[in-house]
Chain A
Amino acid sequence: MHRLLLALALLVSSVGCSPFGTIPAVGLDSTGKEMSWTFQENLFNENFLTYLNEVNTSVLPILEEKSRKASPWHLGEVGVGLGLRAGASVGPLSLKGQLGVTVIFAPGVRQ
């Protein structure tokens, strides 16, 4: 009984003391209807870091390759939007979409 009470107390207190909150998102669907979602902050952070890493490691080599090719066009800043993986971080809800987060890559000043 004591062990059960102790476990219950620790469980409740750990939820209450959690540094994580929720991350809300809002937007219009394809019919123009307003939608809103709430993500658990810790899960959102995990996904955010994963995406940041994927974008960073996959886009940079492409940009280097592009800028090496002779072209009359000068490639300026490039922005790559982060998306949501289907079903990721929203529990049973399957969701895919472009999040309002853009990673901006810049070429630097050529010496």
Chain B
Amino acid sequence: MNRKKWLLLSVLMGILALGIFDRYNVLADFDDETLPVDWYQLPEDQSVSQETEGLRLGRQPKTPVSNLFRSIGTSLDNYSELSAPNANKWHFDRLVTKFAVSARGFIGLLLGGGSFSTEIDWRQKSAPSLVDDKKLSESREGQITLSTNFNEDEVLTQIEPVMQALVATGKIENVPLFRSNYKEQVLAHHRLFQGFRAVGSQQWRPRHFYLFLRFSAAGNVHTNVTVGGGIVSLLTWSIDNRNNDLPHENEDRYQKQLALQKFTNDLGFFLDGTDEVQLLAQKFTLKSVGFSVGLTGSGLIGMVFASGGVSAGISFSKRPARLDHIQPPRSLDSFYLIESAPKSHHVEYARSNNIEHRWDGENTMIYKIPFEKFRKGMEKALDISSFFAKKSRQVTLKKWYVSEIESLFSLSISGFTSIVNLGVTASVKVNIIGTEQGHSL
């Protein structure tokens, strides 16, 4: 081979090497984003899923989270037909994207049914604030807002148009059964929330209760997270702190309400000790935190290990610390995690790890979670939220930015957390907000 041919061959090999090297970098980037197993599987489920799914530690599926942010962000940036926000006209205000995680840790856009893991809000940069922020925030939370001060007649009056609207969708086959079940669920929760008064914590205060209901086409509450047929409904109760006393007409109900008050006050104190360093590093701040709330047959209140069609909870929001509200630090003990129809390997995990647990009735297991252990779970939830915040910040956009990220988590009987997968509902939700200034340009 003469010198000219060698030179040509060298150049060609160089081009080939560059191409392969570039591909290697892309793959390396994906590896960097592989979700650790403990991010998407609770400790009590890891051994079981490895047996049934053949998963091995270190061989998780690839998770191109960067691609999702880049692709959606650049598509928005390239969308030239955008209607400019107008004070008197309807306009394209924002885009919401939902990411979901499979039980095997594969993350992607939610397609079809199942629970989402993370919801991302995209907004236009420098868009004038045409909608009242408070109103916007409330409209995200539910179709209507009830109050903890309402009596039952007022609640029924308020939910009537909601039931009518849900029936009007045509997805409910047995309307009388649906209406009866809907009223029963709403009133049962209202009886617990009625008269609630937030006291205690310094910065984190309960803002509202929420109730998410998922009905089948037959008019019954769904027993699991499914797709197709039926409808979903979200209601919220604003907490009216003008209440002075809990209604004390019924001793059993009164005791449940007292238990709810203690549980939520403890959570407020717990959140006061939350460290946001990771989020602040990404120029995001914690906006609100929600916890599921459930009631056992014997009247115990706690968080819920949920996968059914009913999901109730309480949402906390942060306010600036005020000197006149400063309370002495409280030593927090523990709370309950409630699991209906418990999985046998969960009970076995609790037994073998000395986690305090007992039956409450025939079909419900309660686990005692020390707040100290839940602190680690909360830190992990913030770490995962911070991961999404960081990925959103790596996209360089001209016109859009990520303004809000809500991530949903399952709570382990050990106190740890993992991001929810497609088949479950959340025990903990973390909502963080960012400003357009946080984006690299």
Contacts and interface: CB of A to CB of B under 8 A. Distances in A.
Interface string A87-110: 000000000011111111111111
Contacts of A103: 92, 95
B113 A24 contact: no
A64 B90 CA distance: 6
B328 to A, nearest CB: 42
A60 interface: yes
A110 B89 CA distance: 8
Contacts of A108: 85-91, 130-131
B106 interface: yes
Contacts of A38: 108
B88 A97 contact: no
A82 B370 CA distance: 43
B112 A28 contact: yes
B184 to A, nearest CB: 25
A69 interface: no
A77 B136 contact: yes
Contacts of A100: 97-100, 109-111, 116
Given A9-B15, A16-B21, A56 B82 contact: yes
B372 to A, nearest CB: 34
B103 interface: yes
A25 B96 contact: no
A27 B422 CA distance: 7
B74 A30 contact: no
Contacts of B438: none
Contact of B111 (A27, A30, A45, A52): A27
Main DSSP-derived SS at the B contact region: mixed
A45 to B, nearest CB: 5
Contacts, number: 210
In the complex, which range does the number of interface residues on chain B fall in? 35 or more
A53 to B, nearest CB: 6
B26 A21 contact: yes
B394 to A, nearest CB: 14
A7 B113 CA distance: 45
Contacts of B225: 28, 32
B232 to A, nearest CB: 13
Given A27-B422, A28-B422, A30-B227, A9 B16 contact: yes
Contact of A56 (B83, B87, B228): B83
Given A24-B107, A106-B91, A16 B22 contact: yes
Nearest to A12: B19
A52 B79 contact: yes
B22 A57 contact: no
A66 B338 CA distance: 46
Interface string A1-19: 0100110011011111100
Contact of B113 (A15, A28, A109): A28
Scoring A12, A28, A99 by chain B CB atoms within 10 A of each residue's CB, the highest score goes to: A28
A89 to B, nearest CB: 12
Interface string B3-41: 000001100100110111111001000000000000000
A106 B132 CA distance: 11
A63 interface: yes
Given A45-B71, A49-B78, A60 B110 contact: no
Contacts of B130: 106, 108-109
A105 B102 contact: no
B87 A111 contact: yes
A26 B110 contact: yes
Given A15-B19, A34-B102, A48-B72, A104 B111 contact: no
B299 interface: no
A67 to B, nearest CB: 7
A95 B436 CA distance: 36
Q: Which 9 A-B pairs have the closest CB atoms?
A: A16-B19, A100-B110, A24-B108, A100-B98, A13-B19, A27-B112, A106-B93, A28-B114, A25-B111
24 contacts: A5-B8, A16-B19, A16-B23, A21-B26, A24-B64, A24-B67, A26-B107, A26-B422, A29-B113, A30-B228, A38-B108, A45-B78, A52-B75, A60-B90, A77-B139, A84-B111, A100-B98, A101-B98, A102-B95, A105-B93, A106-B93, A108-B88, A108-B131, A109-B131
Interface of A: 2, 5-6, 9-10, 12-17, 21-30, 32, 34-38, 41, 44-45, 48-49, 52-53, 56-57, 60, 63-64, 67, 76-79, 84, 97-111
Given A10-B15, A48-B75, 15 more contacts: A16-B22, A23-B67, A24-B63, A25-B108, A25-B109, A25-B111, A27-B100, A34-B104, A44-B71, A60-B91, A76-B139, A97-B112, A104-B95, A108-B85, A108-B88
